[in-house]
Structure 1
């Protein structure tokens, strides 16, 4: 009769289950490694067999098996090698395969297996460090609008796939939703976030009849629109197509070791032939080729790049491709997006402009502080995109929010509230100007936006907001210059005046503004000083990141589309990591080159001995 399981039994069962799960996990990991690197696994087993089985009198079968295996590897790899040679590309793999073939021919099968293991291990390390996403557009496609709310008879909405939307359909876009297709705004007005499409950091106001771009984010009020394009012809789909085209057109980077393959292979063959000729023994030819297959070229250089990617990952920098480290080290031009890259991408309070003239201080006892306190108190009940920026500005100045007796929001325009016994109106010029006497528009500079404030029916002043340059931007550009990047450019979809202002602050001389995604790709392609490093975030940067020699995405707050199409992703909201990535690339390349030249020198010496 079985007894019920007690606490001890349960603990034992849990431990056994845990061990079984761990064993299963280890087994599954081993299975994945075997499937991912079959040549490394099989060659290791063959070497183990050649060492152990001869002790049981099976030397002849082992010799035959190892020789057939090595010959099969040479035959299979030669097919791809011939294709590569036809394209005019030589690799160090050619010398390795010749060494394997010659050692098999003279019966040195163990040496052949060792060379195969070096070749397979080097490729496995490169593949492991590569880390490239198999489907670059996964996140971009996941973020794409999938459904649209189409108006039917009366107030009924029908949720249809976005591909089913046709021109002329009337759609409803709810708060914080993506605009599904390009279309004409039917509502009186709308506040949209287009930063991921155009680079404009401040909210964009659209009015009846104006064009809405698919992929932009609606504000806090539902809007109606009429589709003017299908999903396939809309802005978001065009950006996806640009990413695919840019990724496909970028030329592959030649492996670092392969650049030394042609002269080294010629030298090795000449020395091997000379040894055979002088000795009359074909074994000498095979011996020279075996020692001519330099381990540093096949393994040490990939290990150096793997170490570089690991070091970068510890610093919050994901480098998806080992060849990217070399491109980082050799970069001569750095191109920057503006919004979310050189700037924070979030509006902050620049100054308080009083109706009565310049005020002193921003504290609670000052006129400017009082104005900000009243505005922030009223903005607690506003859904406008700038409301949180105003409240944060008050909190940064230690201004307490006043109790609100009543509040009324005017969609996309502003808010009216009774705060601390005073009637306050905060919002756009149209709302505040109609509610207050003495109103006048603020004098704004490039990249600025005004939030107007009226108190008790009289115009009180304005809060001037802007998207400032990052605090670490100038230091980052100076560090990049010290690292050898002499050319810099600002490339943005924002207005030229705003872009020029940020460029002057950052010390960037070349500016290209008001660029669409396709324009950015063209501008980067036209740069003569290469390799080109492009730094950006947002959906609009995805095509140019894919087209640049090295695309760097500020992935902490940027769109996943930019992160997926880039070669380097900075996981922290820290622009200085871009310069750190370049520095890591330079150190890694120096170590790899040292390994390569050390290997070549040692191989030449050993070839002379052989």
Structure 2
């Protein structure tokens, strides 16, 4: 009954076909012919109505071939072949659903595992009498204390309150080994708790948590079908024209109208309509399994053809966790006082360097002061009044505009500087080191060796720092000290196209949205960047960029090959049918085998060859070290 409700046309067609075959066996061909003609005619009218709707929406598809084939077979009395064509077309929907479910199983697995219930401790400080209340995940508030039982899914992002805990984060990061966290560590929603119950404190609501953002991205990927339609449409008109020419030629040469129908039954468009969507779903699913979420088939197609790439520096080509390595105050300013004032001001900044400065001040047991008047100038720095003193921390150009005596610092490879001004005078420099990612040099080498002809760095950081990191990872075209608008402008001018931009953080969102393919390093939860990007990498590894490009190329190759297999077999069989060697009924059945072959081939997108990127830390460290020394 469920199959009947889901595919009523298949069931009715099978019943009509069985009835017509029975009447044929009872030598009541005329009755069977009228029943078949009426049923197929109704199906043709229904198909034509759908075609008209598609044309009004600006889409001209391949259904015209199927309609002509059904009308032709009825016209020449091949009503059994007409019924088989109807069964084949309606059965193609079931085949597509089956293959689609197989292709997107990893995407569906993410959705099926989405946490729905949370256990809230209503008396979290009374350990002997904890009271647990089950509520919907959407009702969890920031600050709630939650109990996560053994083998349960963590419902929202939180801070671990228990002394330690072990979590399986494979569905989030692709990392197969469990991760052990100590108290104070961040636990991501979607992770599976280990063998002991733990307590966490919610730090984000359900909608803002890591797993729910992944689920939203998966929904967006599932709902994007436009590129698949476009890929099939490229072949629609030429294939239709070739099929009609072959069928018309067969009729003209033989003088037999039946030959026209016999050729067209082998030209039904199921390989084009089904193979491409199945391949693209397989590619999306394979990417999700490796920790890369792509927002639809258009992204796969663009990734497959990418010819230039641009990278942000901090958090993309580098580790994104800079540590303070030097405090350089000017004469008359105490080093600890400089660090304390800068860290106090950086409490009001979201920049990645601010976190390193605050962490260093805390480690030195400096007491940070609050400010009643603080503001951050996006991508430039922060201004705050601390103990009646105006403190400015930020880029050299920004600080120089407020303190003209600012002096630029000399920096080493991987170092960045935060300049500090106090009451309008230059106070000193805080030097932080953010080393290149071990895999960065390998990624740039792979891209360059695989057809990505131009590699560029677009960063807001100081030129000396940017150039040293670029040299270390193999990027010579470096654009530094850029504002977000300048990044967008340079990205628009970058050639050849398509162009891929890789970045993380809120300030990268505009350029990610403007690029042909925006790739966000979303492992740290950069929501704005993830929303703007076409590809979100859930694992904190730049190597996944190579995986994304490799999967895109393999998927497009499989989709196009499946289409050409279908077209090649169909054209070859049509040529054979021109001789009259393949009757209409046999041709309709043979075409079903062609459909099945193309669909099975399209499922190859679920697998694929390895990327070939060397990912062992020792080898990558050697590559980076060699580049740095030269």
TM range (shorter): 0.5 to 0.7
CA gap of 1:278–1:295, structure 2 versus 1, over 3 A, is same
Q: Contact conserved, 2:292 with 2:535, CA < 8 A, in 1? A: yes
1:64 Cα offset (Å): 4.9
Describe the superposition over 1:137-192 as per-residue Cα deviations: whole angstroms up to 9, x where unpaired.
xxxxxxxxxxxxxxxxxxxxxxxxxxxxxxxxxxxxxxxxxxxxxxxxxxxxxxxx
Give the match for residue 65 of structure 2.
Answer: 95
2:300 and 2:552 in contact (8 A); partners too: yes
* Residue number in structure 2 paired with 1:525: 492
Residues 132-211 of structure 1 correspond to what in structure 2 (within 5 A)? none
Task: Rate the CA distance shift 1:67–1:476 in 2: closer, same or farther, 3 A.
Answer: same
Match of 1:193 in 2: none
User: Is 1:544 matched with 2:514?
Assistant: no
Partner SS for 1:561: helix
> Partner of 2:235 in structure 1?
260
The alignment status of 1:589 with 2:556, answered yes or no, reads yes
Q: Corresponding residue for 1:184?
A: none
Equivalent-residue separation in structure 2 for 1:101 and 1:548 (angstroms): 48
Moved more, 571-580 or 440-449: 440-449
Look up the match of 1:49: 15
Task: Report the alpha carbon displacement of residue 581 of structure 1 after superposing the two structures with TM.
Answer: 0.8
Structure 2 counterpart SS, 1:255: helix
How far apart are the structure 1 equivalents of 2:75 and 2:508?
A: 55
User: 1:121-136, aligned counterparts within 5 Å?
Assistant: none
| 2:458 counterpart residue number | 491
Q: Tell me how far apart the structure 2 counterparts of residues 592 and 282 of structure 1 sit (CA, whole Å).
A: 35
2:49 to 38, 61, 76: 76
CA pair 43-528 structure 1, distance change in 2 beyond 3 A: farther
User: Match of 2:476?
Assistant: 509
Asked if structure 2 preserves the Cα contact closer than 8 Å seen for 1:348 and 1:468, the reply is no
Q: Are 2:520 and 2:530, in contact at CA under 8 Å, matched by a contact in 1?
A: yes
Query: Within 1, Cα distance between the matches of 2:274 and 2:327?
Result: 62
Q: Deviations over 1:68-99 (max 9, x none)?
A: 44212331233255458xx7x86545434443
Distance of aligned partners of 1:61 and 1:354 in 2 relative to their CA distance in 1, 3 Å threshold:
same
Please say if residues 517 and 544 of structure 1, whose CA atoms lie closer than 8 Å, have aligned partners that are also in contact: yes
Looking at structure 2, the residues matched to 101 and 67 of structure 1 have their Cα atoms a distance apart, in angstroms, of: 8
Structure 1 partner of 2:263: 288
Question: TM-score under structure 1 normalisation?
Answer: 0.55
1:408–1:415 Cα contact (<8 Å) kept: no
SS of the aligned residue for 1:508 comes to coil
Deviations 1:203-251 (A, max 9, x none): xxxxxxxxxxxxxxxxxxxxxxxxxxxxxxxxxxxxxxxxxxxxxxxx9
Q: SS of the counterpart of 2:274?
A: helix
Q: Deviations over 1:250-287 (max 9, x none)?
A: x9787334333444333211210122223333332222
Note if contact 2:62-2:269 (Cα within 8 Å) is conserved in structure 1. Answer: no
Residue 464 (structure 1) aligns with:
431
Residues matched between the structures, number? 413
Q: Taking structure 1 as reference, are residues 582 and 448 closer, same or farther at Cα in structure 2, changes over 3 Å only? A: same
Deviation of residue 505 (structure 1)? 3.2
Distance change >3 Å, CA 97–CA 393, structure 1 → 2: farther
Match of 1:219 in 2: none
Change (3 A) 1:486 1:67: same
CA drift of 1:119 comes to 6.2
Is the Cα–Cα contact under 8 Å of residues 445 and 474 in structure 2 kept in the other structure?
Answer: no
RMSD (CA atoms): 5.1
Residues 99, 115 of structure 1: 8 Å contact kept? no
Pick closer, same or farther for the CA change 1:51–1:97 going to 2, 3 Å: closer
2:45 and 2:231 mapped to 1: Cα distance?
27
Please state how far the C-alpha of 1:56 moved relative to its aligned partner.
7.7
- Flag structure 1 segments of 5+ consecutive residues without an equivalent: 1-25, 35-40, 134-250, 357-370, 396-400, 417-426, 430-439, 453-460
Alignment of 1:399-410 (within 5 A): 409=369
Q: CA deviation at 1:328?
A: 1.3
What corresponds to 2:86 in structure 1? 113
